[in-house]
Structure 1
Amino acid sequence: MKKLTTGLKYAVLIVAAFVSIFPFFWMVLSMTNETVDIITGKMMIGKEFMTNLTNLMTNDLGFQRAVVNSSVIAIITTFFSLLLSSMAGYGFEIYRSPKKEWLFNLLLLSMMVPFSAMMIPLYTMFSKMSPSMFGINTLFSVIIPSVCTAFTIFLFRQNIKSFPKSLVEAARIDGLGELAIFFKIYMPTAKNIYAAAAIITFMSSWNNYLWPLVALQSPEKRTVPLVLSAMGSSYTPDYGMMMTGIVIATLPIAVIFFMLQKQFVQGMLGSVK
């Protein structure tokens, strides 16, 4: 009976693994085939990879420029999100204030507001800013709304709950400033949660579609999701080229995740505790 139960568990895990891996496996095969073979469901490695890659890089939609734009947005957003969110989470947990919990609960309530309901106020606000730097159709108009989110603040605060407060008190007695305590004592001990938050923030920023679609109006400011969407909206889409672009767009997230997966798991577990 025990062997049967174990066998069923492994069978379920194998099926789940196959269902999870198959879409990516199919994308990799498809980027080596032409559109006709992909439509007919060919499941073999083809010889059209270089053709698809050349078409992707020379396409009028500007895939290479979109990769640069997405990289700039994702890297800047991740850096400032980690810095500001960790400082906010640290402040909410370390410093005492009678109104702190009310403010934090209000912050959490903002997570329940759908982003589509905030697009018009955001568009109005950015349209009144300097058009050369922070206004609509600039990369900063996409970066700023994602720099500090309620979820990442919550994530850091939950992690800081397990941070020994005695270290903070000891550092204060020794004359260390508050910023020095944060940068020299807390940050070196929180590498796991920083890795977890970095993966979540980078992935969210890299895959962001709705707000960039509204805010970035010039073709040269497009991000990768916008270019991939434009490829599929033509009358005769080149699926081989699209699949090549999708695989390339997936690689940065996959590489970062596999590099930091151990820290990601430990960071998330630490936050849950």
Structure 2
Amino acid sequence: MHKAKRVSMYAFLCLAAFVSIFPFFWMIVSATNLSVDVTRGRLLPGAHLMDNLRNLTNSVDIWNALGNSAKISISTTILAMLIASLAGYGFEVYRSKAKDIVFSILLLSMMIPFAALMVPLYRMFGQITNFFPTFGIDTPAAVVIPTFTTAFLIFFFRQSTKMFPRELLEAGRMDGLSELGLFFRIYLPTMKTTYAAAAIITFMASWNNYMWPLVILQSPENQTIPLLISNLGSGYAPDYGLIMMAIVLSTIPTALVFFLMQKHFVAGMVGSVK
């Protein structure tokens, strides 16, 4: 009985692994084939990888799109780590009834879909454009500002701060550190796994963000990689080998970030759950 249960468990895990890995396998294999081979469902690697890459770079400025996505994602991640961690730290360390009410209202904002906010945000940035063009419509700043922190991230840091040893803060105060010194010199280095998990979540969400950049970015030179891939697939006769090549290139940065910080990500998520 125990052996049958173990065999069924491994069979389920193998099936789940196959379902998870197959899309990546098909994506990589398709990037090496011609468009006609992709539409036929060919699952064997071809010899057209460099041809697809050459056609991609000749037809669109993918390096500029990757650079725009990198600039927006890195800026969003850095700002989110600073602001969300400060907010989560403040809500937990300096608790009061008023702060708990504010935090509850903040959590309620998670129930509002972003689609409902796009029209007011667009009108707001339209007005900002008249006074501060650098932060207005069709600028990277307009993509970063509404998304550099979220109620979820603040909640995530507050939950993780519950596990933070308060004795370290008391020891720091006795040594004469200011409140900001406590945060930057004690809290921040101690919570590095939480920061790693939050950074991965934020970077991936920003890198794959499609709806808001589609609305606010209007010029081709400012488009991000999801917008470019969408445009490649909207043609009359899309080249699927070329599209898959673009998807492979867009997947590499997020895959690198995740695999390089995987251990910290798992530790940070476990810590937040506790």
Aligned residues: 272
Q: Which runs of 5+ in 2 are unaligned?
A: none
Q: CA deviation at 1:98?
A: 2.3
- In structure 1, give the amino acid aligned to 2:19: V
**C-alpha displacement at 1:172, in angstroms?**
1.6
Match runs of 1:1-273 below 5 Å = 1-60=1-60, 62-130=61-129, 132-273=133-274
Deviations 1:154-196, CA, capped at 9 Å, x for gaps: 1110000011112212222222101110000001111100000
Structure-2 separation of matches of 1:12 and 1:169? 50
Tell me, in whole angstroms, the C-alpha distance in 2 between the residues paired with 1:209 and 1:98.
Answer: 38
Tell me, in whole angstroms, the C-alpha distance in 2 between the residues paired with 1:160 and 1:176: 19
Task: Determine the C-alpha separation between the residues in 2 that align with 1:250 and 1:80.
Answer: 23
CA distance in 1: counterparts of 2:155 and 2:109, whole angstroms: 12
Distance 1:134 1:4, change over 3 A: same
- Tell me the CA shift for residue 59 of structure 1: 1.3
Residue 237 of structure 1: SS of its match in structure 2?
Answer: coil
Normalised by the length of structure 1, the TM-score is 0.98
TM-score, normalised relative to structure 2: 0.98
Q: Which string of whole-angstrom CA distances, capped at 9 and with x for unpartnered residues, describes residues 230-267 of structure 1?
A: 00000000000000000110111111111111110110
**RMSD across aligned C-alpha pairs, in angstroms?**
0.9
Match for 2:124: what amino acid?
M
For 1:231 and 1:142, the matched residues in 2 are separated by 22
Show CA shifts across 1:42-69 (max 9, x none): 1111111111001111114x21111000
1:135, 1:71 → 2: CA distance?
20
Structure 1 stretches of at least 4 aligned residues deviating more than 6 Å after TM superposition: none
- Cα distance in 1 for partners of 2:260, 2:84 equals 22
1:174 and 1:223 map into 2 onto residues whose CA distance is 47
**C-alpha separation in 2, matches of 1:79 and 1:194:** 10
- How far does the alpha carbon of each residue in 1:53-96 deviate from its partner, in whole angstroms, 9 at most, with x for none? 01111114x21111000000000000110011101100000113
Q: Supply the AA of the counterpart residue of 2:101.
A: W
Identity %: 56
C-alpha distance in 2 between matches for 1:48 and 1:69: 27
The runs of 5 or more residues in structure 1 that have no matched partner are: none
